[in-house]
Chain A
Amino acid sequence: MKVSRSQRRDRRNFPGARNEYSSDALGTPFEAMAETNIIDGGWVFAIIAAPRRPARLGPALVIPFPERRTLPEPKADSIETSGETPTARWQRLMVAAQAGDQRCYAVLLQEAAKFVRVIARRYHADGGAVEDVVQETLLSVHRIRHTYEPGRPVEPWIAAIAKARAIDALRARKRRAAVEQDISPEAMEGVTDGARRADDRLSAHSDIATAMETLSPGQRAAVRLLKIDELTLSEASRVSGQSVPALKSLLHRAMLSLRASLKGGRDA
């Protein structure tokens, strides 16, 4: 295989970076980019400079969309790759998404989710936590998609958001761990039964409040709307703007998280 000067330079400068896409281990070129630590700045080009393989890239990048009929048709034949670099493709999809092309936006989010998942795995071993980070990142991407500056690469923009959300989740986990540590058996020694019962009641309120603080904003909102305000799923969906499945997922993970925090407190 012929190796260009830029590829030789990239291999010399970035020995860890792959110079061709490996669809076996990593689903898309963007996963390869995230896996090889090249999401910041110029590292991207270590992969971009690799030889193009349209035959391997083409069909694999078209993510099947479950409810195709519910979304409008793309404004142009802009979803399929036509030999362009992954960076250029994402730039085009992002610009189309900003213009309101929902199909392009869906494809971009699907591919971005894989990219973010690879980044999140560097910070979290637990699959649920990784998925939390992916979802929080996608929500952030959606909320601030107007901040993407057309013409600039999309990967560093998404990667920075993903890193921030992954670190947020780490901090929340540390806070949760600190809560579990604080409630030690020694702390309860010497308390009389009556005082212990009163203390238990107070402590339960405080534990719940503290455990609620460790939830992500989305999870907290789901608990508040569905468990405290007792809204139905469809009402909560209307109020929060989240889909019913997303709300169910947020509530499920929130309850798991709360149970873990509170169980830790009771066991101690």
Chain B
Amino acid sequence: MRDDTDALIEKLARDGAPVKALPPPLVRAGTFIAISFAVMGVVAAFAGDIDAVWSNLADLAFAASLAGALIAGVAAIFAAVVLSVPGRSASWGLLPLPGALLWLAGSGVECLQSVAASGWGDGDPFASAACFRFIATVGVPLALGLYFLLRRSVATHLTGVTALAGLGAAMLAAALLQFMHAHGANPVDLATHIVAVSLLMVLMMTLGRRALEGK
């Protein structure tokens, strides 16, 4: 058996062509986020309601949900890329937690404000279908980009990495969504956002994982 291993080592050593080391994960993640922000900025500038966002930022709950979505998205992408390199601590997986909690807290307060002001609404569960479509439309290309970013490195923590990548893509999409609908979230909005984020995570953990496994 060990002879086989020795033969394998000999073969691998002979095949050991020079390789270019990947840039550090923080640099790769930072570059991806910078490009994503540039594209999102263009979309927000042309299709979003920047003035309404500026005026809404005075509302602490809106500011918290927007900042939380951005922080969670950025942190999840950093964590996914760092964890995709073998040997890094699994604690990186907790990095998006504060941002996600801030997003949930901000959106939750917005929901309470909405219920206090105008009740529970008409209870139509599909009232926020446009939000769902937006998060999916923006989140899927981001997730695809993350797949291409991760495909050369991921070898361990596959489930965690794909979940974080899905979360990162979805949270950046949710942040961009804030620029599109300049009103605070109501309970149906929040539930729709959570479903869309969860769906993107599940998609990455299944399809993304399978693609990364088979690379």
* CB nearest neighbor in B for A242: B11
Contact partner, A156, options B10, B14, B87, Cβ 8 Å: B87
Contact partner, B155, options A71, A135, A140, Cβ 8 Å: A140
Q: Which of B11-25 contact A (CB under 8 A)?
A: 11-22, 24-25
21 contacts between A and B (CB under 8 A): A70-B14, A100-B16, A100-B19, A101-B16, A105-B13, A127-B1, A134-B5, A138-B12, A144-B155, A145-B19, A146-B22, A147-B21, A147-B85, A149-B85, A153-B87, A156-B87, A157-B87, A158-B87, A164-B155, A243-B8, A245-B7
| Interface residue stretch chosen among A106-114, A189-197, A228-236 | A106-114
Alpha-carbon gap, A149 to B15, bound state (A) = 20
* CB nearest neighbor in A for B11: A243
Asked if A54 is an interface residue, CB under 8 A from chain B, the answer is no
Closest 9 CB pairs of A and B: A100-B18, A249-B4, A106-B13, A156-B87, A245-B7, A243-B11, A160-B86, A157-B87, A131-B1
Q: Which residues of A are at the interface with B, using a C-beta cutoff of 8 A?
A: 40-41, 65-67, 70-71, 97-103, 105-106, 109-110, 113, 127-128, 131, 134-135, 138-140, 142-150, 152-153, 156-161, 163-164, 241-243, 245-246, 248-249
* CB nearest neighbor in A for B20: A146
Asked if A113 contacts B5 (CB within 8 A), the reply is yes
Asked if A147 contacts B152 (CB within 8 A), the reply is yes
Q: Which of B135-190 contact A (CB under 8 A)?
A: 152-153, 155-156
Q: Which of B53-87 contact A (CB under 8 A)?
A: 84-87
* CB nearest neighbor in B for A127: B1
Q: Report A-chain residues with C-beta under 8 Å of the C-beta of B86.
A: 144, 147, 156-158, 160-161, 164
Alpha-carbon gap, A109 to B12, bound state (A) = 9
Alpha-carbon gap, A67 to B14, bound state (A) = 11
Asked if A148 contacts B21 (CB within 8 A), the reply is yes
Minimum C-beta distance from A243 to chain B (A): 4
Asked if B6 is an interface residue, CB under 8 A from chain A, the answer is yes
* CB nearest neighbor in B for A248: B4
Asked if B89 is an interface residue, CB under 8 A from chain A, the answer is yes
Q: Report B-chain residues with C-beta under 8 Å of the C-beta of A65.
A: 10
Minimum C-beta distance from A151 to chain B (A): 9
Q: Report A-chain residues with C-beta under 8 Å of the C-beta of B16.
A: 97, 100-102, 105-106, 142, 145
Alpha-carbon gap, A70 to B156, bound state (A) = 34
Asked if B8 contacts A135 (CB within 8 A), the reply is yes
Asked if A243 contacts B7 (CB within 8 A), the reply is yes
Assuming the contacts A146-B21, A164-B86, asked whether A245 and B152 have C-beta atoms less than 8 A apart, the reply is: no
Asked if A147 contacts B7 (CB within 8 A), the reply is no
Asked if B9 is an interface residue, CB under 8 A from chain A, the answer is yes
Contact partner, A113, options B9, B89, B156, Cβ 8 Å: B9
Q: Report B-chain residues with C-beta under 8 Å of the C-beta of A150.
A: 21
* CB nearest neighbor in A for B2: A131
Minimum C-beta distance from B50 to chain A (A): 39
Q: Report B-chain residues with C-beta under 8 Å of the C-beta of A147.
A: 21-22, 84-86, 152-153, 155
Alpha-carbon gap, A163 to B13, bound state (A) = 22
Q: Which of B85-136 contact A (CB under 8 A)?
A: 85-89
Asked if B10 contacts A164 (CB within 8 A), the reply is no
Asked if B19 contacts A98 (CB within 8 A), the reply is yes
* CB nearest neighbor in A for B85: A147
Alpha-carbon gap, A93 to B146, bound state (A) = 31
Alpha-carbon gap, A146 to B2, bound state (A) = 26
Alpha-carbon gap, A241 to B11, bound state (A) = 9
Minimum C-beta distance from A254 to chain B (A): 13
* CB nearest neighbor in A for B6: A66
* CB nearest neighbor in A for B8: A246
Asked if B87 contacts A160 (CB within 8 A), the reply is yes
Asked if B12 contacts A41 (CB within 8 A), the reply is no
Alpha-carbon gap, A110 to B84, bound state (A) = 25
Asked if B5 contacts A138 (CB within 8 A), the reply is yes
Q: Report B-chain residues with C-beta under 8 Å of the C-beta of A163.
A: 156
Assuming the contacts A127-B1, A160-B156, asked whether A100 and B7 have C-beta atoms less than 8 A apart, the reply is: no
Asked if A131 contacts B4 (CB within 8 A), the reply is yes
Asked if B10 contacts A128 (CB within 8 A), the reply is no
Determine which residue in B3, B4, B6, B85 has the highest number of CB atoms from chain A within 10 A of its CB, and name it. Answer: B4
Q: Report A-chain residues with C-beta under 8 Å of the C-beta of B1.
A: 127-128, 131, 249
Contact partner, B9, options A110, A149, A241, A248, Cβ 8 Å: A110
Determine which residue in B10, B12, B17 has the highest number of CB atoms from chain A within 10 A of its CB, and name it. Answer: B12
Determine which residue in A41, A106, A145 has the highest number of CB atoms from chain B within 10 A of its CB, and name it. Answer: A106
